[in-house]
Structure 1
Amino acid sequence: MIGKNILKKLVVLTLAFALVIPVNLRLVAAEDVLGVKADAAILVDSNSGKILFEKNSNTPLPIASMTKMMSEYLVIDAVHNGKISWDQKVTVSEYAHKISQNTGLSNVPLELGGKYTVKELYEAAAIYSANGATIALAELVGGSEKNFVQLMNDKAKKLKLGEVKFVNATGLVNKDLQGMHPEGTSPSDENIMSAKGVAKLAYYLLNDYPEVLETSSIPKKIFQEGQKYPVKMENWNWMLPGLVFEYQGMDGLKTGSTDSAGFCFTGTAERDGQRYISVVMGADSYNSRFSETAKLMDYGFSNFEKITLVEKGQAVKGNKTVKVIKGKEKEVNVVAKDSLTLAVKRGEGKNYKAQIKLSGKNIDEDGNIIAPIKKNTKVGEIIVKSSNKDDLGFITTRNEKTFDLVVDKDVEKANWFVLTFRAIGSFFGNLWGSIVDGISGLFK
């Protein structure tokens, strides 16, 4: 009897392992099919935000100087909104000066009270990760680094970057700011974000301000060339053309490293009109963050293709027109504002479908468009959905992606005369229909 009981227990344990192990293996495979040697990583289609690969992408981790992507976003945003200009002169404060003189950090030395253009400081920050220059820009845009950090956190919330904590403009650990870290933060604080959050920030930076690539793609430049204290700047992104780990199509975005963050890199590369964004966090060496990035990019370019579900100005199949209320015309075409393109695994395009959802102030409760309405007015969304159970979703939303649905022409409101006769016609039409239904009922 003892032998039989032991045998039964062994059978039960064997069955349990048989059921559990394949599930765990499947999860591991889905998590890291590439064997990426980093604490966290993600690969995203820059056009649609489609997630193509992720590893530990939701865990908040130190981001080091990848922080400067948010600083760059806010600087470019301020230029676009007319708050500052690229040729505006910035006077260097004592704080920015002291940090810029620290040769143990990435820097271009700045003169105390010296004047530099916004463009010069921005290039130093974006190309050479210059910390003093970044602080000078933060003080210009925010009035102080403390205020700028608040702008960073506000923007992170607006962009829905997830669990984020910005405590300074540079990505340094606060203890490296020589006791001048922003008020309300501690010396041990540093900036925290998940790989998914960083990728989402890069996604918005590239799509809102694509000119960021004009600077991030510069391999080498001289700061203050021809001036009293010129500085040779070599981009820390060694995957750019002509540098150590040159990678075809690579033109951005930002490196970062601290003792706690390890070696990090947000990269972007484009080939034949297809652009990807990759994030590697916590790699174990300066070089490995680039080799792991190449692994991610190779995976994207080799295994995925760009498909177009709906062309710009075209209707979603089966949803060409929508009824118009009180318009000179009784219906109008609804079309895609922009082309719906996304990267999918080769041969899996059939798993992705588009459908429309009418919404907004121009739509009544019955789903009709209310006249008058102007061409290209948004009247809802085109939703992209996947039937693939292993689909990783989008960087902006988990399971679906929306694109703007618009009307393809102006529809003016009909005058009172036309509306009156339509109402009369509708009344008699309904009356006649009732009579016919009544008579038909007599003969049933």
Structure 2
Amino acid sequence: MTALAKEAQSGNIAAMMRALAHGAKTASRELSQASGAAKDSALRAAAGALRDNEAEILAANVKDVAAGRQKGLSAAMVDRLTLNRERVAAMARGLEDIAALDDPVGAVLGEWTRPNGLLIQRVRVPIGVIGVIYESRPNVTADASALCLKSGNAVILRGGSESFHSNHAIMACLGVGLAAAGLPAASVQLVPTRDRDAVGAMLKMDDLIDVIVPRGGKSLIARITAESKVPLFKHLEGICHTYVDKNADPARARDVVVNAKMRRTGICGATETVLIDAAAAQTLGPQIVSGLLDAGCEVRGDAAVRALDPRVRTADAADWDSEYLDAIVSVKTVEGVDGAIAHIEEHGSHHTDCILTEDADAAERFLNKVDSAIVMLNASTQYADGGEFGMGAEIGIATGKLHARGPVGVEQLTTFKYLVRGQGQCRP
């Protein structure tokens, strides 16, 4: 048993967390100077370890899934928790994809020479120590670690109690990668306890942790927002919308809406509300609604939508503000593009919203006026994912506006500093 684990077992959570954070701070200094080759070597070795230890990872996950079902987790939450051979392979590929990205550290973002001869450069540098607090999805352990490592940051991971065994099995593979590349073991650390006090301790350590990325439900985000002394990249709920304009292509609209809702209902990019142009309610509405129902989705609609199909249930006021993360969707008719924009502004979470239309003017109005981190045209909201954006993976979808917005990848996990070179200039 490690010293940290002993501290956790003894109940001295605050001391354990400070020791863990001190280790991360020390490691971050070394990582900030690590070569791109060393970081990439660690990621590729970790990917190999994931593949080599697939059986152990899946066995650990079986324990978590069984406990989750016994605990009464919803089907969508169980899906988020579950690993299989394909998902383990996807984690490994994700690490390799991140390794293949350009190293962001040291990139010169701007350079100019002042009339007095001073050469000024704005250079990308790591943030330092990243804390990630997340629920359910064990793949976050691999993705977040890889993104932080690639960007030269140390990371402290506090996964959900429901994925405890899976996270530790994945963490062991990341440790193999760090050791193979000769990087500090404290570069990537997993909090070794399920005790909720560990989260409280992290939120107070603004002297050791530079930023925290929370990923989870409303209660977790509310607690972290209220208590944290550390700056946050908030990954809030995904109340994502797909708006079907009167000029949408009928076949495309049906296919995209069904995919946006039903491909994986438990991810944050799943569409939770479908808005249909009132002018197209009788022409496009029936096939949109029947497509969702036939795919096994419960549809809750307003009066106009209920009139399209007797299987539609009545939507109440709470439905327009709900992230179901399940095979449930709310559907509402709106007065054109402006009606859709107004609804999204009132009920959305500024995550991802989409318009389906062949009208270029309507598309541009929607794309420019919807104030969300990701705004899409004629594509499933399920593409709201760092991997699909070519970023290798993501640590979350930031719905705020400062520093990072949208998928948080390696570039978003860096900041910058100014390097100023002179030849003895003195300011008059």
Q: TM-score, normalised by structure 2?
A: 0.26
Q: Which has the higher strand share?
A: 1
Q: TM-score, normalised by structure 1?
A: 0.25
| Greater length-normalized contact order (CA 8 Å, ≥ 6 residues apart) | 2
Q: Which has the higher helix share?
A: 2
Rg larger for: 1
